[in-house]
A and B are shown apart, each in its own frame.
Chain A
Amino acid sequence: MSQEFLPASGKAKKQLFHSGNFLKRVNKYKYLYLIFIPVLAWYIIFCYIPMYGIVMAFQDYTMSKGFFASPFVGFANFRELFQDDYFLRAFSNTVIIAVYRMLTEFPFSIILALLLNEIRHIKYRKTIQTVIYLPHFLSWVIVASIFITVFSPENGLVTTLFSTVGVQIPDVLTAAKSFRSVLILTDIWKESGWMTVIYVAAIAAIDIQLYEAATIDGAGRWLQMWYVTLPGIRNTIVIMFILTLGQILTWGFDQVYNFYNPLVYDTGDILDTYIFRTALADIRFSYAAAAGLFRSVICTALLLVSNKIVKLFGEESIY
């Protein structure tokens, strides 16, 4: 029956399209097209024109010659890129830091959400939530400023606290060895609370009857958490995991840029900060554009794949 139905509806659609109805509908919405013009113009100017700019990656671009007069150099920029130790270092740092984050921050936020769910005292729970969501809304400039103040080797709160109990802590924020840990811990400080929002919502959506049934079966809190809550949010966890994987290359510019310094480039320089420096400090536009294009292409691939997988799990992605 559905086979009969489909072509018919297609035909009907076609007829609708051709029989002036289309123009009628366009006319009906003329005001909406009008207000959409600035939006479309914005997208064309600020998103699509820069895409045309990717030809820069294949040029030897100079500001004075501009787009149209700069000579083409083929893949020379890319060849140089893949022989550039600093670029490769930035790339591997990006991936390593992302992996560390997935291993620490990701499970931590799930545990945090599970623990929040165990709190029956509503007021206390609200207070904790208010506090742990808050840092998400502070800029990395502020967060870095706070940490630099508190960890300052001369007179920071933490440094002093440790030295009163007789422990001398090194200047962790500027040491290459500890820099990745600093990134991860500060990111946990700032974002892990906010990351619980989606899990808390998912837990709230679990059918309360499942808990009642589990209680009747004699399952205590931990068993309920293990057999009801976790399976209940399994899909959300998988989706968040995949979506986060899809963004590993775009993560962390603001954070790294506000925390790092030349001393920690070895362990902390990521792709985005490297591109930023080559473009704006070294003014190597074409070279940075090539690095940027490489990054964009991988990002797009990762995003497309991760969205495909999310759809396979039967969930709608937001797109």
Chain B
Amino acid sequence: MLFRKRISLASILIYTFLTFFALIILIPVWHIFVISTSSPTVYITDPYHLIPKSFSLAEYKRAFHSIGGIARALLISIEITVLGTVLSMFLTCCGAYTLSKKDLPGRSILFRILVFTMFFSGGLVPFYILVRNLKLNDTILALTLPVAISTYNLIIMKNYFTGLPVSLEESAKIDGYNDIQILYKIIIPISKPIIAAISLFYAVGYWNDYFMATLFISSNNMFPLQILLRQMIIQNMVLAQVGVQTVGSNPEQFKMACIIIGIIPVLCVYPFVQKYFTKGIMLGAVKE
């Protein structure tokens, strides 16, 4: 009896702690969401409520209609994410599949060439000068190509490919397929879980990137959303200075709406990513 009581007290403590931690993560985001969607009159009288009192998408509409601002940045972010993910997946699949062949002559040398870059890099300055010299400035290519491959992701994928049964490929060979055809007609379709997981990781990376844009984008009309957010909120620049012009909007609410716009795409892909990493695919795949 006594024993049981102690356990339940422990449970209560554990449940309370975890719920508390989860709430600390959720409340700030929720607060921003509620305020960004409350009507201006409610906001003026009560700017701190957590329980929605009104619902208005006015600031979101303004964000999308603002001259030269959010809508274009959003489009550029989407462009970067799509182009970047396609590019990354193409290169990563090619590299990973080639290296997954155990008896490929030169495999270990090629592999070492890749892994070495995980240990040593030339540093920021030579990289910066290189990309500038390639005349990629102010293009979407500058934000995607130089960071297209994550060696870590490539190794995870290589390990996954190595674990696939050889018999499939052998029968395809008999049907007269060459290696490239095997890769995109057989290997990629049966590797959907890992392809999806890695694509989503790349996509989130591109969506969240501000660093490459800080380095290589100088013209206002090429800024992705993250840069705009940075300028508006972190650097606290006046909206007009950032190139965003809205009429009749409340700057605080407007900024909050922009934060939510930056979060929503991540929230949309998150359940899919989560499905994969909770299954342990990522972790299991790491070990050879």
Binding site for B on A (CB under 8 A): 22, 25-26, 29, 31-36, 38-40, 42-43, 45-54, 56, 63, 112, 115-116, 118-119, 124, 127-135, 137-139, 141-142, 144-150, 155, 157, 160-161, 189, 193, 197-198, 201, 204, 220-222, 253-254, 257-258, 272, 275-276, 279-280, 285, 288-289, 292-293, 295-296, 299-300, 303-304, 316, 318-319
**Complex alpha-carbon distance, A218 and B230, angstroms:** 56
B210 touches A56 (CB 8 A): no
CB < 8 Å neighbour of B119 from A31, A33, A304: A304
Which residue of the partner chain A has the closest CB to B273? A137
Q: A139 CB to closest chain B CB, in angstroms?
A: 3
Q: B203 CB to closest chain A CB, in angstroms?
A: 10
CB < 8 Å neighbour of B270 from A134, A139, A280: A134
CB < 8 Å neighbour of B25 from A38, A115, A193, A303: A193
Which residue of the partner chain A has the closest CB to B258? A145
**Stretch in contact with the other chain, from B62-70, B78-86, B90-98, B237-245:** B90-98
Write the B111-122 contact mask toward A (1 if CB under 8 angstroms, else 0).
Answer: 001110111111
**Complex alpha-carbon distance, A49 and B133, angstroms:** 12
Residues of B99-121 whose CB lies within 8 A of A: 99, 101, 103-105, 110, 113-115, 117-121
A137 touches B127 (CB 8 A): no
Given A31-B179, A119-B15, A141-B226, are A157 and B155 neighbors across the interface (CB < 8 Å)? no
A contact residues around B14 at 8 Å (CB): 115, 118-119
Which residue of the partner chain B has the closest CB to A285? B125
B101 touches A32 (CB 8 A): yes
Write the B274-288 contact mask toward A (1 if CB under 8 angstroms, else 0).
Answer: 100110100100111
A contact residues around B152 at 8 Å (CB): 318
Binding site for A on B (CB under 8 A): 3, 6-7, 10-11, 14-15, 17-19, 21-22, 24-29, 31-32, 47-48, 91, 94-95, 97-99, 101, 103-105, 110, 113-115, 117-130, 145-149, 152, 155, 178-180, 183, 204, 207-211, 215, 226, 229-230, 233-234, 252, 255-256, 259, 262-263, 266-267, 270, 273-274, 277-278, 280, 283, 286-288
Which residue of the partner chain A has the closest CB to B208? A139
Which residue of the partner chain B has the closest CB to A126? B278
B contact residues around A124 at 8 Å (CB): 15
Given A46-B146, A288-B124, A318-B152, are A39 and B18 neighbors across the interface (CB < 8 Å)? no
**Complex alpha-carbon distance, A33 and B120, angstroms:** 25
A contact residues around B99 at 8 Å (CB): 36
Give 9 A-B contacts (CB < 8 Å), ordered by A residue.
A42-B148, A42-B149, A53-B122, A119-B14, A127-B22, A130-B274, A137-B270, A142-B262, A144-B234
**Complex alpha-carbon distance, A35 and B184, angstroms:** 12
B120 touches A36 (CB 8 A): no
B104 touches A157 (CB 8 A): no
**Complex alpha-carbon distance, A118 and B97, angstroms:** 41
B contact residues around A42 at 8 Å (CB): 91, 145, 148-149
B104 touches A145 (CB 8 A): no
